[in-house]
Amino acid sequence: MLRLIFCLVIINIYTLAKDTHYKDFGIDGELYNIVEENGNDMIAKGLKDINITQINNILKQEVEESFISHIRLPDSTQTLTVKQKDLVPARWDVIGLDGTIMAKKGDLILSEIPQGMSFSLCFVNGDDPKEILDYVVNEFGKCIYMVNNIDSRAFNKIYGFETYPISKQVEEYLTRFGISKFPTKIIKESSYLYTQTLNIVELKYRLRNGLWEKD
């Protein structure tokens, strides 16, 4: 049986090869032998050509640049604190144990952050005048600082608080917490968020006009 099947396959291949739809157009041009370089020799040559110093310099530059972010948001025009429930849009339908839909995708639900967890995040424009930065840090106090337009290591060295640049990953927090102006402090307590802003526009006006010490 297997021999019969094999013979049929050979016959089909031969038939296709003789099909009038397929033609041999011959050879146009010259034929060349292809000589492939030994794979190990290619790897050895590639390693020899690597400029270790150049790679180290590129990596060093990338690391240095990772400590600085460049994001522009308007200065805050109000000094106030807003309290609200920590709600986020559901990323999918939330289904209860009994199979009922508790919330549909897109509905506002309590944050996935474990309830009872507390933290403070401060988002600051690092290239503001030092007088302004001193005031902001004094008002915000202990906090995890997210800074832009300044080396986060330098900010940490000056003020001593845990500090990170507003990287691409951190940018998600701006949307997550609805941050549209600098500086802004986010305080998470249980199921509530407290959003604190400072009137930087007024402070800069006073600084420019020599009114800083008159308050």
Question: What does the alpha-carbon distance between residue 148 and residue 151 come to, in Å, rounded to a whole number?
Answer: 8
pLDDT of residue 118: 74
pLDDT of residue 6: 46
pLDDT of residue 140: 95
Phi/psi at 60 (5° precision):
-60, -40
CATH number of 80-86+112-214: 3.40.30
pLDDT of residue 92: 66
- Total-model pTM: 0.64
Question: What does the alpha-carbon distance between residue 127 and residue 149 come to, in Å, rounded to a whole number?
Answer: 6
pLDDT of residue 80: 92
CB 86 within 8 A of CB 110: yes
Closest CA to 163 of 121, 127, 128: 121
The SS3 assignment for 48 reads helix
Phi/psi at 45 (5° precision):
-65, -40
Instruction: Say what the alpha-carbon torsion angle 8, 12, 14, 20 is, to the nearest 10 degrees.
Output: 150
CB 66 within 8 A of CB 60: no
Judged on CB neighbours under 10 Å (0-12, 13-18, 19+), 183 is buried
Phi/psi at 51 (5° precision):
-95, 95
Question: What does the alpha-carbon distance between residue 159 and residue 134 come to, in Å, rounded to a whole number?
Answer: 9
pLDDT of residue 52: 65
The SS3 assignment for 87 reads strand
DSSP 212: G
CB 186 within 8 A of CB 120: yes
Q: List CB contacts of 129: < 8 A, sequence separation 6 or more.
A: 204, 207
Question: What does the alpha-carbon distance between residue 126 and residue 117 come to, in Å, rounded to a whole number?
Answer: 28
Q: Where are the domains of the chain?
A: 80-86+112-214
pLDDT of residue 155: 92
Average pLDDT across each block of 10 residues of the chain; the chain has 215 residues. List them in order: 48 53 66 70 67 66 69 90 79 70 69 66 92 94 92 92 85 83 90 90 89 64
pLDDT of residue 122: 94
